[in-house]
Chain A
């Protein structure tokens, strides 16, 4: 489903990614682990099109997406969350989700100037009305908006935020903001979901709930998930397949127990004996 092939990323003189290649199977739940600063988020930034790699290719469903822009990649069905939350703070929780849900461009990235989606390429448009219907509130506006609103409320119920729908997103507690980010990404009905450190800053109890949420989403929405974490425990619990990154290079790949017993991984996390002397 997703393949990175010999990806290099250079920032100035620093090699952030050094020949990274891996494949993700369709409908799988894969984890990427690695110490802080290993280049995990850079991988996400390259997949989602925020950066384009210095060299190397990214393939999604057999298609080369390396030259595409972020919004085009998103419209092919890849959604992501952010390590440092990027919610629309002033908008309400519901509005955050609606903003995403109105954009369901599956396998297509064309639109007319006013954002009217070219109909043939859309599976199930939730918010389809023209600019003129939008400013006059005539025609399909009312129906579309109502449908959009109810789908989004359903989604909020799934992540346990339905009773907070009208609250401004920035005023939510931290753990809930993380859930909202996941809900917002899900509203795009992605086929591949990238979760960037979803457990960062959470207490153990919240992490436990998050585990359930992620595995639940994986089953219920039937999609492919790629999770970044630097806490090994979370990844080991939920991900059948794990990739380990250190200093921008892939050092190991395999099942959880394989990774846990890999000497290179242990060295990356605990430091080798040479390093310990310093």
Chain B
């Protein structure tokens, strides 16, 4: 409860604090990245399924919303929801045969699936305008909208993790055989995680389209997918607050180096290697940020006693 009030307060501050257009852009981008990273975190950090193809779900969301708003002139709110739902639908279709793959094999398959979705979008020229990209999207992603959706989804995510569904996901992450012998239908557990994460990524993609006004298949390639998984690992597998902090930090770092853009990717690559070498457990390990406070309080209580 306290956490949700805190999140809402952060949301109000992010949405209404007066700032310039440039800072607003950064806030919007941060929210979008956080939404996508939360989705991947549910799948990778909490269910233990590694993916290297989730940018494809962002692409599906972005293209669905763009086509619905530009071509069919549908209002952007139903279009954004449709973006998330199309991603869910495709994830479900893909998940039925592929989620039986475990370990590295799902990760490898997800590379293939992600690239295949991107290539289909690229080759379906009559509908998506192909590799030249899809211009002229109404800039519907305002700071308020991005922050609102981000905070709402963050609250849902944290709540979900503290429910029976959250325990179910973690059980199948920690020991899938034990989970199935505790009565969990583990293939369906994995499917739930995939579907939720695809929804988040779809929404993130829809918002990205509305922010950039222009989308292109190459924005959603394997690099982007890797970035999403890398952010989740950077934040700490199994820590949702770590995912959000990590995602915000990476967005800011990349923004900081925007002026020396050719060094940006170099720094990003180095960062990946350095994190893996020196802190593979990520920023937070598998704890949430408030666990740290609890620990401190408990220690203080112990010292006093």
Interface residues of A (CB under 8 A from B): 48-50, 69-71, 74-75, 79-80, 82, 86-91, 95, 98-100, 102-103, 105, 111, 113-115, 127, 129, 131, 134-137, 141, 145, 184, 188
Q: Is the CB of B192 within 8 A of A114?
A: yes
Interface string of B276-287 (1 = CB under 8 A from A): 000000000010
Interface string of B173-190 (1 = CB under 8 A from A): 011011011111110100
Q: Is B15 an interface residue (CB 8 A)?
A: no
Q: Is the CB of B286 within 8 A of A99?
A: no
Q: How far is the CA of A95 from the CA of B183 in the complex (A)?
A: 16
Residues of A within 8 A of B238 (CB): 90
Q: Looking at A49, A50, A88, A131, which has the most chain B CB atoms within 10 Å of its CB? A: A88
Q: Is the CB of A88 within 8 A of B156?
A: no
Q: Is the CB of B186 within 8 A of A90?
A: no
Q: Looking at B163, B168, B170, which has the most chain A CB atoms within 10 Å of its CB? A: B163
Q: Is B171 an interface residue (CB 8 A)?
A: yes
Q: Is the CB of A71 within 8 A of B186?
A: yes
Q: How far is the CA of A131 from the CA of B160 in the complex (A)?
A: 8
Residue of A70, A115, A137 near B181 (CB, 8 A) is A70
Residue of B165, B174, B181 near A89 (CB, 8 A) is B174
Q: Is the CB of B174 within 8 A of A90?
A: yes
The count of A-to-B residue pairs whose CB atoms sit within 8 angstroms is 96
Task: List the 9 closest pairs (A to B, CB-CB), nearest first.
Answer: A134-B163, A86-B178, A103-B183, A88-B174, A74-B183, A135-B156, A102-B164, A99-B167, A70-B180
Q: Is the CB of B174 within 8 A of A103?
A: no
Q: Is the CB of B167 within 8 A of A134?
A: no
Q: Is the CB of B181 within 8 A of A50?
A: yes
Q: Is B159 an interface residue (CB 8 A)?
A: yes
Q: Is the CB of B164 within 8 A of A75?
A: no
Residues of A within 8 A of B170 (CB): 88, 90-91, 95, 99
Q: Is the CB of A136 within 8 A of B178?
A: no
Given contacts A71-B184, A100-B183, A135-B160, 7 further A-B contacts (CB under 8 A): A48-B181, A90-B286, A98-B167, A102-B164, A113-B192, A129-B163, A136-B156
Q: How far is the CA of A70 from the CA of B187 in the complex (A)?
A: 12
Q: Is the CB of A131 within 8 A of B183?
A: no
Q: Is the CB of B163 within 8 A of A145?
A: yes
Residues of A within 8 A of B186 (CB): 71
Q: Is the CB of A87 within 8 A of B181?
A: no
What size tier do the contact residues of chain B reach? 20 to 34
Q: Is the CB of A88 within 8 A of B171?
A: yes
23 A-B pairs in the complex with CB atoms less than 8 angstroms apart: A70-B181, A74-B180, A74-B183, A75-B183, A86-B178, A87-B178, A88-B178, A102-B164, A102-B167, A102-B168, A103-B182, A105-B183, A111-B185, A113-B192, A114-B165, A129-B164, A134-B166, A135-B157, A135-B159, A135-B163, A137-B159, A145-B162, A184-B182
Residue of A82, A115, A137 near B178 (CB, 8 A) is A82
Taking the closest CB of chain A, its distance from the CB of B5, in whole angstroms, is: 12
Q: Is the CB of B185 within 8 A of A99?
A: no
Q: Is the CB of B159 within 8 A of A74?
A: no
A184 nearest CB neighbor, chain B only: B182
B157 nearest CB neighbor, chain A only: A135
Q: Looking at A71, A87, A131, A141, which has the most chain B CB atoms within 10 Å of its CB? A: A71
Evaluate whether A71 and B180 lie within 8 angstroms (CB atoms) in the complex, with A99-B171, A111-B185, A136-B156 already known: yes
Residue of B4, B156, B164, B171 near A127 (CB, 8 A) is B164
Q: Is the CB of B183 within 8 A of A115?
A: no
Q: Looking at A75, A80, A91, A145, which has the most chain B CB atoms within 10 Å of its CB? A: A91
